[in-house]
Amino acid sequence: MIEFPVENEIARTAAQVFAYVTDSNKLAIWQTNTGLRGRGGRRAARPGDARGASRPRRQAARVARQVSEYEPDRTFALHVIEGALPIDAGLTFEPAERGTVVRFTAHGQLTGAMRLAQPLLRRTLKRQFTGHCATIKRVLENDRPHCHRPISGPDAAMGTPWDALTYDQSSEPQQAWASEVLARLEGVAQDATAMDVGCGTGRVTEALLALVPRGRVLAVDASADMVALAREWLGDRAEVWCQDVLDLDLDEPVDAIVSTAALHWVADHDRLWARLARALRPGGVLEAQCGGEGNIARVREVIEAVARDAAPELVGWSPWVFAGPQETERRLREAGFTATRCWLEERPTHPQDVDAFVRTSILPAHLARLPEEQRERFAAAVVAGVRLPLDFVRLNVSAVREPA
């Protein structure tokens, strides 16, 4: 049996929360197999109904009208059938003293071979809807997490607004790469203090927690949207904050630093490795992986071709530094690292959802530079032009902070 709750209190009325969730522009969050219905017996859309799923705007309007007619500012629910699996899930919106409690519940009975997938399914559903509730709360309350330094402007690549929720759901390749990096940290003491640099939505941070069960975990990311989702998911298990890594200045150095799929977004690698060295105690270890020399070369050719046609202001511009092993080893030594080892690894990649992956893992900084009315055309043209497998090349970095 799968059954669990996730809840979050939002400082807005139930009607305001529901209006946001059922807005036609937001319904993609709940995927095309979403059915909506109010708690009064009147059905707004039959779950799995192809006509309702293909017309989210009409579906949203029908539900919103229904609720306003007979249940304004009272408890109502969004009902979800998770595809072909026998899982009945729903969001309930209940008025509370300080606003609205949004509660997610899922229940169902898996039988036969599907029972083996029950722990994974529970974890996946809980993570997705924790993220959904965090997104609703942040948008409606304008509750952006505090950043130690304001990040703005087209050149602040790591500070670019990210679609954190879609990134989280489409980042299977990054998670696979990260598991290999974490495996290189197996010798770290269980009571160590470890740090995840470029933590994203917190998936790697959570795995890092398992490596130091009696220790302490810190996590930093320059994206406020990523940090919001990571904080919501990790709670008080890790200390998560928003900051550009080039401004990183810890009160006390840590025993280990891990970073995956992030450091190629940092423009100044000389300062980058020096900052990370300062954050490590003497003898502390660094294990990292990011885009390396030759990374997504074919994809970059597509981006350049589309830019020449649809966005000339992006021609010749890149938000990334894809460094090679030799120059990185030199920078590490100059920054105060020893036992340095850097190597490239080709990782041809087949994302499950190519459209979502390209938009959220490759194009955020490009799209942030464009006027809103140009973004969709640009993104769609790039997605149409890329060919699988995506030609990822990873730069792996292993190093030790020089002893005092």
What SS3 class is residue 247?
A: helix
3-state SS, residue 326: helix
Q: In what order do the strands lie in the sheet with 254-260?
A: 239-242, 216-221, 193-197, 254-260, 280-291, 390-401, 337-349
Q: Which domains does the chain have, with CATH numbers?
A: 2-141 (3.30.530), 157-401 (3.40.50.150)
Tokens matching residue 46: 């039959």
Q: Are 232 and 130 in contact (CB under 8 A)?
A: yes
pLDDT in tens, the chain (404 residues): 455 556 666 666 666 666 666 554 443 333 322 232 333 322 333 223 323 333 333 333 333 333 333 343 444 444 444 444 555 656 666 767 666 776 666 666 666 666 666 666 666 666 666 666 665 665 565 543 334 333 333 333 334 556 666 677 777 888 888 899 999 998 899 999 999 999 998 989 999 999 999 999 999 999 888 888 888 888 889 999 999 999 999 999 999 999 999 999 999 999 999 999 999 999 999 999 999 999 999 999 999 999 999 999 999 999 999 999 999 999 999 999 999 999 999 999 999 889 989 998 999 999 999 998 999 999 999 999 999 999 999 999 999 999 87
The tokens for 259 are 């970073």
For residues 173 and 177, give the distance between their C-alpha atoms in angstroms, rounded to a whole number: 6
Distance CA 248, CA 227 (A): 15
Q: Compute the Cα dihedral for 54, 57, 58, 61 and give only its sign.
A: positive
Predicted TM-score (pTM) above 0.85: no
Reading the block at residue 26, the tokens are 């937001």
Alpha-carbon distance of 227 to 243, in angstroms, equals 10
Q: How many residues does the chain have?
A: 404
The whole-angstrom separation of Cα 403 and Cα 339 is 11
Task: Give the C-alpha separation, 280 to 256, whole Å.
Answer: 7
